[in-house]
């Protein structure tokens, strides 16, 4: 009798939005990501474009996330892989997440990066909105902050949209 192991992709944590499945990073997933896009594609069960990884998502970011995920206090406050779930096959298009757990005043910082060919399609906005709502569902979170560079107009636009979506919440943008 053969024993079938549950596929790794079915053991992961997800948050759903209209077009996206946000998959929580794990040390194992990051390890596969460090091996290359083919290993990550198998682990996530999705197509990983040749242009992977997105801008500002490099080996240092992966190593930071690994340390973060190995710290029990930080575990849920790392990044999430963004999968476009309406395509066939499903496609990995970016990342979104937090730079750490809520600090002493209840603030978390969000960041995001989408592959260039998927930009200007609302994916970063959709992912950020879903994660900000998720963050505010935690009683310790009172503020979500973000920063971007002045020349990244698309990123600035995402932050402007978040301020409109969450007008009664404390969002700070730099």
Domain boundaries along the sequence of the chain:
10-173
Name the DSSP letter for residue 89: S
Res 3: pLDDT:
43
Contact 98, 131 (CB under 8 A): yes
**Residues 42-66: what's their mean pLDDT?**
93
Strand partners, 95: 81, 113
Q: Which H helix or E strand runs over 82? A: strand 79-84
Instruction: Look at residue 11 in the predicted model and tell me its pLDDT.
Output: 66
- CB burial string 30-60: b at 16+ within 10 A, e below: bebbeeebeebbebbebbbbeebbbeebeee
User: Quick one: which H or E segment has residue 59?
Assistant: helix 59-70
pLDDT tens per residue across span 120-142: 999 999 999 999 999 999 999 99
Instruction: Copy the structure tokens of residue 132.
Output: 């900000």
Residues 139-147, mean pLDDT to the nearest whole number: 90
Average pLDDT, the chain: 88
The 10s digit of each residue's pLDDT in 73-129 is 887 899 999 999 998 999 999 999 999 999 999 999 999 999 999 999 999 999 999
CATH number of this structure's domain 10-173: 3.40.630.30
């Amino acid at each position: 009798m053969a024993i079938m192991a549950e596929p790794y992709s079915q053991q992961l944590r997800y948050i759903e939005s209209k077009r996206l499945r946000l998959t929580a990073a794990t040390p194992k997933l990051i390890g596969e990501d460090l091996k290359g896009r083919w290993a990550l594609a198998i682990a996530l069960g999705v197509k990983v474009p040749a242009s992977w990884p997105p801008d500002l998502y490099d080996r240092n970011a992966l190593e930071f996330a690994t340390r973060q995920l190995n710290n029990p206090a930080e575990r849920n406050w790392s990044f999430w892989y963004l999968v476009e779930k309406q395509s066939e096959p499903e496609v990995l298009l970016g990342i979104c997440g937090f730079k750490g757990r809520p600090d002493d005043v209840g603030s978390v910082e969000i960041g995001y990066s989408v592959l260039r060919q998927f930009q200007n399609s609302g994916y970063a906005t959709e992912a950020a909105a879903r994660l900000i709502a998720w963050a505010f569902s935690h009683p310790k979170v009172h503020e979500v902050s973000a920063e971007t560079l002045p020349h990244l107009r698309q990123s600035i636009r995402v932050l402007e949209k978040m301020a409109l979506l969450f007008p009664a919440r404390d969002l700070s943008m730099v």
